[in-house]
Structure 1
Amino acid sequence: MTEHLAELLAETDDPQAIKELLELATNTEHEDPSSSPTRSLSEFYEQFLSRRQDRSPATRAQYKRTIPPFIDFATGHDVTTPARISPDLLDQYVDALQATHDSDATILTHTKNVRGWLRWLNKRGHCPERVYRILDKDELGLEPSARDEALPTTVADMILERLRQQRRGSLKHAVLELLWNSALRIGGLHSLDLQDFDPANNELRVRHRPEKGTRLKNGSQNHGRGGDGERNILLDDAATQALVLYTQYEREDVTDIYGRDPLFTTSQGRASQSTLRRTIYEATSCRWHPSDSDSTDCEGDCDPDVAVCPYSYYPHAIRRGAIVHHLSGGLRPDLASQRFDVSIQTLEKHYDPRSKRRRREDRAESVRDAW
């Protein structure tokens, strides 16, 4: 404690003032003494962004959409350095988000990214751990809707059956049929060209083409990334037939700005990731959901930050459900790892529906078969 701070504490008997002075002293102790005291929150944010060049454009865009508004909020409260960020400030920030956004999922997106940035600052000694812990999901009491969960097989089967009957070969039907069979990420869906689809062999080729406008999350071995998202995927007959009908009757015959022939198109060219995401929300909305089969009141205004239908599922919920569906059907984890571009460790932690006992029994059976 500095002599100046001791004098200030001695001169006040206001409990709130004493609390704020002590918090300021604690925050200051965590600030890196080697760093310049004049470095602003914006300067730290720019450094944070520069250290994440390997992140996907979508992830970096999300950082840019969510962290600067927090910096503006902090600056508006006369907080310009990490050391002055307090739990009280973060509580006020969450209150402001809740007053602006109705969706828990949207609030969670903002707080998750700000929390990640504050954690990055904490690792460098610029703010204490207790600050970013304020933005923990459980601490905030956020309850995103069921669309964050895995799409159950029973629900997927009923939605797909309705789409086959009423919108067969449409963009909605083709996209959902393909996602349920392949569990592609939204970036993989966006990357597909017409030439990547081989209906004669029920095959889909997934390729990383950053120099031509599309990327895969794990890149490719030829582009200096740690992983390899490139692979050929075998499709079932339902997915192949849906894609054939879509390409014959609904696909716009256009090229993108790189002269490529996208598989999924609009009149302007390649369907953007936001267009594909809205399509997924629409395909799983109340109009097609089996729990409300007579309802047609979904207006299709599927903006994830405004008015997603309560019945809709996020793309990743469909991916998660599709992976669980394949594993439940007996697909070996090592083969699932290759098909879905996900590590075996992640599969076992987040996707494998089997109990630990069942896993042990399956391993024992495999060993006996090898004998």
Structure 2
Amino acid sequence: MITPKEMTPREAWHRYLDGRRTELTDESVATYHYRLKLFTEWCEESDIETVSELNGWVLDQFESSRSGEGVAATTLHNEMETLAQFIEYLERIEAVDDGLSDRVNIPDIPDDEKSRETKLETGRALSLIRYYRSSELAGSRNHALLEVAWHTGARLGGIRALDLRDFDVGEQLLEFVHRPSTDTPLKNKRHGERVVAIRNGVAKALRQYIQSERSDKHDDHGRQPLFSSLQDRPSTNTMRAWMYTATFPCVHGPCPHGHDSETCEFRSHTHASKCPSSRAPHHVRTGSITWHQDRGVPREVTSERVNASQEVIDRYYDKATKRERMELRRRPHLEKLEIQ
């Protein structure tokens, strides 16, 4: 039997991920898998045969290699953060020297890089929702999906996990439940479970969707998904494509990019993500959380609604500009400073 120090980087990579599968969602495992795959392959190309050969210089060389490939600052930050967690695991099993994880440099993300993160802007979101509510598209799948995503700030996996029974029509509530044994885990597992109240307009859109457009289907586990495909519960990729189409700017106006909506290739289900103005579920979540903050919803209330800590919200999701923070959050309190 080999000792921990004799493991190859590839063996250690697989052992590390195998040990974390019970605590991570499949999506998170896939993300970690990809990031550490890059490091493992770099080690193999650099003739690093065992993890005992890892040291501060090796880790610095890997970072320089990735940086030299022109990856985005946010990408490099995330990759090195995952690598540091992997090295901490190797320390714990005594495969590398104690303190090696402290030598992993996790580069800061410049403020200008952070501010570039795409979101569905509040003005666009509200214009889309108002149009959906007053047009022939009221109660369509795209309408209901956008209403739920924008008003709850939920992750794509959480929305996909909703069953028909999780919508309380009378009380106007949506309940997010962790059901890993039937293929709908929540990112934060039991800690991700919550009940979220919704406004009349959102509930009306859902009622219309259920009555007119929702496919009455069961998934492979006998459950009735709230958002169903023609077959069963849609995949995350399918729902992601739905969100792209739901946020097309040409839904309620002329194309800002000069395309003809009748012939535009982006209107195709498979090319919807290529539209410069369409938005992914994560972008809708980011915009929603920023909107919650701008509307003066207490931070702790927003945190519970969207199932994210206040620290995570501040760091990753709240994308208001400095001017927006002043105008929408601080200026309304200015009268409190008036000297009588």
TM-score normalised to the size of structure 2?
0.74
After TM superposition, give the deviation of residue 122 of structure 1 in Å.
4.4
Give 2:119's aligned residue: 150
After superposition, the Cα gap between the structure-2 partners of 1:211 and 1:95, relative to the gap in structure 1 and judged at 3 Å, is same
Q: Deviations 1:76-122 (Å, cap 9, x if unpaired)?
A: 443334545455555555667x7xxxxx78x965x555423421244
After TM superposition, give the deviation of residue 269 of structure 1 in Å.
0.9
Indicate the SS of the match to 2:195: strand
After TM superposition, give the deviation of residue 301 of structure 1 in Å.
5.9
Q: Deviations 1:320-367 (Å, cap 9, x if unpaired)?
A: 222222332232233333322233444556539655xx67996x97xx
Give 2:290's aligned residue: 324
Residues 302 and 309, structure 1, Cα contact 8 Å, conserved in 2: no
Give 1:269's aligned residue: 232
Residues 301 and 307, structure 1, Cα contact 8 Å, conserved in 2: no
CA distance in 1 between counterparts of 2:287 and 2:270 reads: 22
Residues 49 and 60, structure 1, Cα contact 8 Å, conserved in 2: yes
Indicate the SS of the match to 2:174: strand
Residues 285 and 310, structure 1, Cα contact 8 Å, conserved in 2: no
Give 2:29's aligned residue: 60
Higher Rg of the two aligned structures: 1
CA distance in 2 between counterparts of 1:94 and 1:301 reads: 35
CA distance in 2 between counterparts of 1:361 and 1:284 reads: 30
1:26-45 aligned within 5 A: 36-45=4-13
Give 1:343's aligned residue: 309
Give 1:180's aligned residue: 150
After superposition, the Cα gap between the structure-2 partners of 1:145 and 1:268, relative to the gap in structure 1 and judged at 3 Å, is farther
Give 1:216's aligned residue: 186
One-letter identity of the residue aligned with 2:287: G
**Aligned to 2:168, which of 198, 208, 212?**
198
Question: How big is the alpha-carbon RMSD for the aligned residues of Structure 1 and Structure 2?
Answer: 3.9
**Aligned to 1:115, which of 76, 80, 83?**
80
CA distance in 2 between counterparts of 1:343 and 1:237 reads: 27
Unpaired runs of at least 5, structure 1 = 1-34, 99-103, 221-227, 366-371
Aligned length: 309
* Residue 312 (1) aligns with residue 282 (2): no
Indicate the SS of the match to 1:232: strand
After TM superposition, give the deviation of residue 251 of structure 1 in Å.
1.6
Q: Deviations 1:45-68 (Å, cap 9, x if unpaired)?
A: 123314423122211122234432
CA distance in 2 between counterparts of 1:322 and 1:73 reads: 39
Percent of aligned positions that are identical: 28
CA distance in 1 between counterparts of 2:313 and 2:66 reads: 35
One-letter identity of the residue aligned with 1:328: D
* Residue 292 (1) aligns with residue 255 (2): yes
After superposition, the Cα gap between the structure-2 partners of 1:307 and 1:280, relative to the gap in structure 1 and judged at 3 Å, is closer
After TM superposition, give the deviation of residue 283 of structure 1 in Å.
1.9
One-letter identity of the residue aligned with 1:263: L
CA distance in 2 between counterparts of 1:323 and 1:187 reads: 17
Unpaired runs of at least 5, structure 2 = none
After superposition, the Cα gap between the structure-2 partners of 1:166 and 1:314, relative to the gap in structure 1 and judged at 3 Å, is same
Q: Deviations 1:7-63 (Å, cap 9, x if unpaired)?
A: xxxxxxxxxxxxxxxxxxxxxxxxxxxx75422111221233144231222111222
TM-score normalised to the size of structure 1?
0.68
Q: Deviations 1:253-302 (Å, cap 9, x if unpaired)?
A: 11111110111111231112221122112222353486835632252467
Residues 40 and 81, structure 1, Cα contact 8 Å, conserved in 2: yes
* Residue 248 (1) aligns with residue 218 (2): no
CA distance in 2 between counterparts of 1:325 and 1:188 reads: 19
